């Protein structure tokens, strides 16, 4: 079996090692999180750490099985696998079990299976297949739309369960798309909009509007270097806004200042546009366009926040942004989490010595907040090491992805990276108070069969593709 | 596709950037910011205050007067509250859900993080039931406390009571925290620092259900409590009980002192109250009722009632006169049922005339002592009345009148002794003489003496010229001695030689037969010396007063009795004093008829 032995030789042992390390450390921390003085004596398989151990063993088996499957299988069956995933997501909405308010689970015997985790694998495969196919052209609108559909469809189904956290993961495929060639402007815009999003929530609308206008004027000046454009724009804006303001006062309309300024801007726009088109100054158009879009975005964020988001979601955002402090209510988890991590100090309190986790102060401490145990018991050293391992793994995956000869494998690789990175960022970010509380697991660490297996499969498909990279010439 | 290969660096960059941001944030959280460390510690740490048992109070013979009983305060820590079965909770505690919300609100207002009292002094039975179910009510815990309990309804004023400390005291002495107990009157207050011991502290680890999981750092930060020290008071419980029994139908006071030490053997104030009323939860309401009672049971007459002393004061004037040399024991004055001068009359009852000093005391002759007072104030030694009066005042003060005796009792009052400035103000300087203020001669007028001061006077005479500051405490366990002030002899400004005549006079007053004003006090086997007093009362019947000591030689007890609206001193004052003396010296009552008379007002002959 020449191929087999070659395979075993060509497996990326570094990744395998990292995988095993993370799983092991994860397990130790679950043990610590559940550890209770009374259970010193028994190694109880019915406890979470016991179950996790079983699942780890099963995961390793899965990894081996996946690895033994012919690599072409994944390529050929990407779409079918994806369709199965979509069906399962539809199915779970109908016959699934509701746990903690979301219908995300299939119950098979005494066993819970979460299809949304496996959907991540399926979507990565499907995306990779699609982007690497002949029909795909990065600048074709149809391609872009299909791409969008593949990524967003599962997300929507998951969001209906509702499991907002898992749904958000699917937006990470932007990274895949970016690497595949999308304009980097897209990435930049994405980042800017994220920033604007948070800013809108924190700062008053009018303030933002003024800020945006100022930036627009500044951009104009930088682009054109002609003061008269800037001054002209300002004067026109001032005239219109001033008039509206005066009207407002005299007729006692009592309109919000924000709307007055918006109206002023909107009236000024046509004038700018006409001028720009006549004089053929493109930059003005660009600036106006950006300003307009930003205003629109800011406005819609505000609208969504106030009129669409549910109260507890609003609260989570508020707590994150420091607008609200609710250490006993919605802020409780995060606050306790920060306390647990913070109390670890430099070198932690020692294995099995976490007082916060020991005494059940951190809720969900073996699932979403598993990182707390690391922080509390292993301190800064521990947390840095874990972060380091993840970063190392991700960078290693980049290296692996880049050395692929086939587009499919490479794009799939980035899919793996995107999914793992998103989980890593959101989960840890949440426990240290940098991101709002979004419940998603930390890969290989958090307790849970479905997520562990899904991540294992995700990873080992990559390793399998990688092991036979020299052979695939697609 | 590989044309975009350069982007791998951007992707890698983003990954590494995020990792870096996390590490920096963690560094800030874990290494730089120590507030989380403390939060964590305080999250899982609870400081338990260990309240020491308050010192017990015994009587002079070792009989318990006050002891401690366990009580339980239900505490709540708002930070640790979770939702709980309110119905069950309310049932156990017998309160309404609205009440629960209200109390939690109060606790929250007080402090979100620190525990405060949810419900004071729940009964042992409630505690037992609650304790079983404590795990269902996270955020609540029980703090054991001690409350005072009294084996007998006795000596309420003497012992005082314990209540919650007020804000002002907390400000002044941070040892006290809101909800702590502190002595408010009597021995409880004056010996608060001895009785309270010292609060201890134990820091335990708790889990999120508020269950104790063990000692923090092996008890390194704990502080042991110090139990309050016991006090042996000077009180004689049997005597006190008898005194309260005798006085039950009267209003007034009895004070008995041991002359050789100044120890207060008994301090009775009537009306009084049951000390058990001012304990625990009912205290607030009961206090209100007591304080609104028009007869003022909370008012400790023994220390705070400033009565005119009546004829008992004559002995003082007599002693001063002897000291100043303006009379001799043999000096006699006439009395025609009164003292007459120009248009001024001071009436007197029927008795032989003239009388010498000793007989004047026996008969309590007003006329004699008005003359005596005249002699004091017109003493040629002094250039004018004012000077003579000031000199007289100095003597008076040395007896402990008009000032604080400096006892260890709270609320002692000075009494009232007028000074020359006072009369100057009323009549104008040099516009008054002994006639103007003649009522002082017989213990009326602008005089206010407390029963304590009168008993002290009896002690002075018993000792023939000195006293020890009266005090309540004989011994404090584990302490060498009581306050040195109480061990010091205070001599009055009268030579002790002069006292013998007064003693004789007082002997005759009781035992002298015909004319003796205090014959009701006479006892078979013990020589009682006493002096009656009858204080005029414009509002009703005169007050019945009596001071005495016994036995005449080597006296063991000095006593003052004051019965409001009791008529002549002999009617009630004397028999009560006599019975008290007998009870103390013999421990039995051989004259039950007298006892019955006092209680029921049936005169024996």
Same domain (yes/no): A222, A161: no
Calpha distance B68→B195 (Å, rounded): 12
Same domain (yes/no): A257, A372: no
- According to DSSP H, which parts of B68-160 are helical? 86-93, 97-110, 124-133, 156-159
B3 in A contact zone (CB under 8 Å): yes
Name the minimum distance, in Å, from the CA of A359 to any CA of chain B.
Answer: 4
Residue A55 is assigned to a structural domain of this protein: yes
The whole-number pLDDT of residue A460 equals 93
Same domain (yes/no): A166, A249: no
Q: Considering A283, A309, A335, which residue would you say is the last residue of a domain? A: A309
Band (pLDDT 50/70/90 cuts) for residue B604 is: very low
What is the rounded average pLDDT of the residues B538-544?
A: 82
State residue A449 phi and psi, 5-degree precision: -70, -50
A-chain residues within 8 Å CB-CB of B14?
Answer: 175
A149 sits in which H/E element = helix A141-160
| Cα separation values, B602 from B246, B328, B540, B605, Å | 14, 41, 21, 9
CA nearest neighbour of B82 among B137, B152, B162: B137
**ω before B271 within 30° of 0 (cis)?**
yes
Calpha distance A369→B14 (Å, rounded): 24
Calpha distance A432→A375 (Å, rounded): 10
The whole-number pLDDT of residue A40 equals 46
More confident residue, A392 or B35: A392
**Average pLDDT score over chain A:** 79
Task: Give tens-digit pLDDT for A111-167.
Answer: 788 899 999 999 999 988 888 887 666 667 777 778 888 888 998 888 888 787 888
Name the minimum distance, in Å, from the CA of A414 to any CA of chain B.
Answer: 9
More confident residue, A300 or A83: A83
CA nearest neighbour of B395 among B324, B306, B496, B488: B324
Task: Give tens-digit pLDDT for A373-417.
Answer: 888 888 899 999 999 999 999 999 999 998 888 888 888 999 999
B-chain residues within 8 Å CB-CB of A328?
Answer: 79
A407 sits in which H/E element = helix A407-431
Q: Considering A309, A331, A359, which residue would you say is the last residue of a domain? A: A309
Same domain (yes/no): A113, A126: yes
Same domain (yes/no): A288, A320: no
Residue A395 is assigned to a structural domain of this protein: yes
Task: Give tens-digit pLDDT for A282-305.
Answer: 777 777 777 777 777 777 777 777
Same domain (yes/no): A260, A285: yes
Q: Residues 46-105, chain A: which have Cβ within 8 Å of B?
A: none
Calpha distance A199→A184 (Å, rounded): 23
Same domain (yes/no): A208, A193: no
Number of other CB atoms surrounding residue B533 within 10 Å: 33
B31 in A contact zone (CB under 8 Å): yes
Least confidently predicted of A19-23, A31-35, B170-174, B455-459: A31-35
The alpha carbon of B532 is separated from its chain's Cα centroid by a whole number of angstroms, namely 27
Counting every residue, how long is chain B? Answer: 605
B-chain residues within 8 Å CB-CB of A356?
Answer: 40, 43-44
Band (pLDDT 50/70/90 cuts) for residue A37 is: very low
Band (pLDDT 50/70/90 cuts) for residue B49 is: confident
Question: Are B30 and A383 inside 8 Å of each other by CB?
Answer: yes
Question: Are A384 and B37 inside 8 Å of each other by CB?
Answer: no
Report how many domains make up chain A: 2
More confident residue, B383 or B514: B383
Domains of chain B: 46-77+85-233 (3.90.1310.10), 237-271+300-473+480-600 (3.40.710.10)
Q: Dihedral (C-alpha) B350, B353, B357, B358: value to the nearest 10 degrees?
A: -60
Cα angle, residue B532 at apex, residues B530 and B538 outer, rounded to 5° = 160
- Exposure on the CB side of residue B587, measured as CA atoms within 13 A: 3
**Which single residue is written with the structure tokens 């098979």?**
A108
B45 sits in which H/E element = strand B45-50
Question: Are B36 and A390 inside 8 Å of each other by CB?
Answer: no
B140 sits in which H/E element = strand B140-149
> Which pair of structure tokens corresponds to residue B391?
């000199």
The whole-number pLDDT of residue B557 equals 94
Q: Is residue A36 predicted with pLDDT exceeding 50?
A: no
Q: Considering A260, A283, A309, which residue would you say is the last residue of a domain? A: A309
Residue A1 is assigned to a structural domain of this protein: no
Question: Are B44 and A359 inside 8 Å of each other by CB?
Answer: yes
Calpha distance A213→A295 (Å, rounded): 9
Residue A120 is assigned to a structural domain of this protein: yes
Same domain (yes/no): A188, A239: no
Residue A2 is assigned to a structural domain of this protein: no
Same domain (yes/no): A153, A277: no
- Specify whether the CB–CB gap between A458 and A81 falls below 8 A: no
More confident residue, B99 or A224: B99
Band (pLDDT 50/70/90 cuts) for residue A318 is: low
Name the minimum distance, in Å, from the CA of B83 to any CA of chain A.
Answer: 12
Q: Which residues contact A469 (CB under 8 A, 6 or more apart)?
A: A10, A403, A404, A405, A406, A409
B-chain residues within 8 Å CB-CB of A361?
Answer: 43-44, 207-208
Residue A188 is assigned to a structural domain of this protein: yes
A-chain residues within 8 Å CB-CB of B10?
Answer: 178, 184, 187
Question: Are B207 and A359 inside 8 Å of each other by CB?
Answer: yes
Q: Residues 11-50, chain A: which have Cβ within 8 Å of B?
A: 37
Task: Give tens-digit pLDDT for B79-104.
Answer: 777 778 888 888 888 888 888 888 88
Task: Give tens-digit pLDDT for A187-207.
Answer: 677 777 777 776 776 666 777
* B547 Rama class: left (phi>0) / alpha (psi -120 to 50) / beta: beta
Calpha distance A95→A109 (Å, rounded): 14
Question: Are B26 and A383 inside 8 Å of each other by CB?
Answer: yes
Q: Is residue B288 predicted with pLDDT exceeding 60?
A: yes
Same domain (yes/no): A178, A216: no
Residues of the domain holding A235: 203-309
Same domain (yes/no): A191, A340: yes
Question: Is A219 exposed, middle or buried, given 0-12, 13-18 or 19+ CB atoms closer than 10 A?
Answer: middle
Counting every residue, how long is chain A? Answer: 474
Residue A473 is assigned to a structural domain of this protein: no
Interface A:B, Cβ pairs < 8 A: 129
Question: Are B15 and A421 inside 8 Å of each other by CB?
Answer: yes
Q: For the full predicted model, state whether its pTM sits above 0.90.
A: no
Name the minimum distance, in Å, from the CA of B178 to any CA of chain A.
Answer: 26
What is the rounded average pLDDT of the residues A351-374?
A: 67
| Cα separation values, B148 from A126, B162, B228, B236, B278, Å | 81, 8, 13, 20, 9
Q: Which residue of A has its CA nearest to B211?
A: A359
Q: Is residue B462 predicted with pLDDT exceeding 80?
A: yes
Question: Are B43 and A361 inside 8 Å of each other by CB?
Answer: yes
Question: Is A188 exposed, middle or buried, given 0-12, 13-18 or 19+ CB atoms closer than 10 A?
Answer: exposed
Band (pLDDT 50/70/90 cuts) for residue A236 is: confident
A390 in B contact zone (CB under 8 Å): yes
Q: Dihedral (C-alpha) B483, B485, B486, B491: value to the nearest 10 degrees?
A: 170
Residue A185 is assigned to a structural domain of this protein: yes
Least confidently predicted of A346-355, A407-416, A453-462, B387-396: A346-355
Q: Which residue of B has its CA nearest to A404?
A: B2
Same domain (yes/no): A33, A81: yes
% of chain A surpassing 90 pLDDT: 19
Question: Are A356 and B43 inside 8 Å of each other by CB?
Answer: yes
Question: Are B8 and A356 inside 8 Å of each other by CB?
Answer: no
**Average pLDDT score over chain B:** 85
Band (pLDDT 50/70/90 cuts) for residue B469 is: very high
The whole-number pLDDT of residue B484 equals 81
Band (pLDDT 50/70/90 cuts) for residue A84 is: very high
Name the minimum distance, in Å, from the CA of B4 to any CA of chain A.
Answer: 6
Three-state SS across A82-134? HHHHHHHHHHHHHHCEEECCEEEEEEECCEEECHHHHHHHHHHHHHHHHHCCC
**Closest partner residue to B29 among A132, A342, A410, by Cβ?**
A342
């Amino acid at each position: 079996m020449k191929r087999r032995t070659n395979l075993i030789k060509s497996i990326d042992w570094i990744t395998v090692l990292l995988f095993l390390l993370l799983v092991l450390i994860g397990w130790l921390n679950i043990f610590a999180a559940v550890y209770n003085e009374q259970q010193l004596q028994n190694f109880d398989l019915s406890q979470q750490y016991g179950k996790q151990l079983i699942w780890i063993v099963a995961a390793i088996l899965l990894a081996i099985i996946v690895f033994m499957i012919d690599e072409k299988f994944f390529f050929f069956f990407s779409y079918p696998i994806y369709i199965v995933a979509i069906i399962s997501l539809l199915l779970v909405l109908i016959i699934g079990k509701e746990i903690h308010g979301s219908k995300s689970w299939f119950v098979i015997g005494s066993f819970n299976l979460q299809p949304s985790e496996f959907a991540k694998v399926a979507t990565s495969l499907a995306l990779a297949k699609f982007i690497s196919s002949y029909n795909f052209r990065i600048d074709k609108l149809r391609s872009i739309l299909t791409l969008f559909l593949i990524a967003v469809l599962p997300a929507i189904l998951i969001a209906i369960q509702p499991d907002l956290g898992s749904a958000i993961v699917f937006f990470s495929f932007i990274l895949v798309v970016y690497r595949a060639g999308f304009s980097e402007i897209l990435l930049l815009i994405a980042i800017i909009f994220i920033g604007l999003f948070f800013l809108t929530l924190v700062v008053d609308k009018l303030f933002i509007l003024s800020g945006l206008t100022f930036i627009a004027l500044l951009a104009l000046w930088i682009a054109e270097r002609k003061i008269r454009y800037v001054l002209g724009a300002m004067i026109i804006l001032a005239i219109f806004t001033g008039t509206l303001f005066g009207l407002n006062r005299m007729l006692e309309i009592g309109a919000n200042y924000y709307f007055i300024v918006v109206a002023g801007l909107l009236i000024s726009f046509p004038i700018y546009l006409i001028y720009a088109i006549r004089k053929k100054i493109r930059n003005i158009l660009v600036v106006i366009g950006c300003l307009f879009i930003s205003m629109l975005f800011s406005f819609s964020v505000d609208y969504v926040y106030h009129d669409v988001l549910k109260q507890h979601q609003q609260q989570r955002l508020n707590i994150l942004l420091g607008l609200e402090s609710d250490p006993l209510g919605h802020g409780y988890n995060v606050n306790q989490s920060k306390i647990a991590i913070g109390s670890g100090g430099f070198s932690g309190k020692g294995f099995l010595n976490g007082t916060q986790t020991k005494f059940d102060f951190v809720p969900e401490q073996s699932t979403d907040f598993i990182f707390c145990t690391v922080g509390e018991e292993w301190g800064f050293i521990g947390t840095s090491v874990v972060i380091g391992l993840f970063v190392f793994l991700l960078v290693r995956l980049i290296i692996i992805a880049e050395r692929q000869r086939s587009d499919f494998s490479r794009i799939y690789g980035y899919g793996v990276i995107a999914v793992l990175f998103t989980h890593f960022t959101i989960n840890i970010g949440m426990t240290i108070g940098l991101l709002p509380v979004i419940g998603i697991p930390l890969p290989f660490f958090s307790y849970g069969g479905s997520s562990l297996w899904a991540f294992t499969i995700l990873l080992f498909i990559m390793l399998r593709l990688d092991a036979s990279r020299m052979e695939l010439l697609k | 596709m590989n044309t975009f290969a350069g982007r791998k660096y951007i992707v890698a960059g983003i990954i590494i950037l995020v990792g870096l941001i996390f590490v920096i944030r963690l560094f800030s959280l874990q290494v730089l910011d120590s507030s989380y460390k403390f939060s964590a510690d305080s999250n899982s740490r609870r400081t338990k205050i260990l309240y020491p048992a308050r010192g017990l109070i015994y009587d002079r013979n070792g009989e318990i007067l006050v002891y401690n009983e366990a009580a339980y305060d239900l505490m709540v820590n708002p930070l640790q509250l979770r939702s709980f079965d309110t119905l069950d909770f309310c049932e156990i505690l017998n309160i309404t859900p609205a009440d629960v919300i209200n109390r939690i609100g109060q606790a929250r207002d007080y402090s979100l993080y620190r525990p405060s009292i949810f419900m004071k002094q729940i009964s042992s039975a409630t505690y037992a039931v609650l304790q079983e179910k404590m795990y269902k009510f996270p955020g609540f815990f029980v703090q054991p406390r001690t409350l005072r309990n009294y084996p007998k309804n006795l000596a309420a004023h003497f012992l005082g009571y314990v209540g919650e400390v007020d804000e002002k005291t907390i400000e002044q002495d941070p040892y006290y925290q809101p909800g702590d107990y502190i002595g408010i009157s009597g021995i409880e207050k004056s010996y608060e620092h001895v009785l309270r011991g010292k609060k201890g502290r134990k820091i335990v680890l708790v889990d999120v259900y508020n269950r104790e999981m063990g000692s923090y750092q092996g008890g390194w930060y704990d502080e042991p409590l110090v139990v309050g020290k016991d006090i042996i008071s000077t009180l004689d419980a049997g005597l006190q009980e008898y005194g309260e029994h005798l006085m039950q139908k009267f209003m007034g006071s009895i004070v008995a002192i041991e002359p050789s030490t100044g120890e207060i053997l008994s301090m009775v104030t009537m009306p009084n109250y049951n000390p058990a009323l001012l304990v625990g939860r009912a205290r607030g309401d009961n206090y209100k009722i007591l304080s609104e009672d028009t007869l003022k049971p909370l008012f400790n007459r023994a220390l705070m009632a400033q009565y005119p002393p009546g004829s008992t004061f004559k002995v003082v004037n007599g002693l001063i006169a002897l000291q100043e040399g303006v009379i001799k024991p043999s000096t006699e004055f006439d009395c025609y049922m009164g003292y007459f001068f120009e248009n001024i009359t001071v009436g007197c009852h029927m008795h032989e005339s003239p009388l010498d000093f000793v007989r004047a005391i026996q008969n309590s002759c007003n006329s004699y002592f008005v003359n005596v007072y005249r002699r004091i104030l017109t003493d040629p030694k002094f250039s004018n009345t004012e000077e003579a009066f000031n000199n007289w005042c100095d003597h008076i003060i040395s007896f402990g009148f008009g000032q604080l005796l400096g006892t260890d009792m709270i609320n002692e009052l000075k009494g009232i002794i007028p000074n020359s400035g006072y009369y100057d103000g009323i009549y104008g300087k040099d516009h008054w003489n002994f006639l103007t203020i003649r009522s002082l001669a017989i213990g009326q007028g602008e005089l206010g003496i407390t029963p304590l001061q009168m008993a002290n006077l009896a002690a002075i005479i018993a000792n023939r010229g000195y006293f020890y500051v009266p005090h309540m405490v004989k011994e404090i366990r584990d302490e060498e001695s009581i306050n040195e002030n109480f061990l010091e002899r205070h001599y009055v400004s009268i030579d002790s030689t002069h006292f013998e005549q007064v003693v004789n006079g007082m002997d005759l007053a009781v035992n002298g037969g015909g004319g003796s004003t205090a014959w009701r006090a006479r006892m078979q086997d013990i020589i009682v010396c006493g002096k009656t007093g009858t204080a005029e009362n414009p509002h009703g019947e005169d007050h019945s007063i009596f001071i005495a000591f016994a036995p005449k030689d080597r006296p063991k007890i000095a006593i003052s009795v004051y019965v409001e609206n009791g008529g002549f001193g002999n009617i009630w004052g004397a028999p009560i004093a006599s019975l008290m003396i007998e009870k103390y010296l013999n421990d039995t009552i051989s004259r039950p008829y007298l006892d019955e008379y006092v209680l029921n007002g049936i005169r024996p002959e």
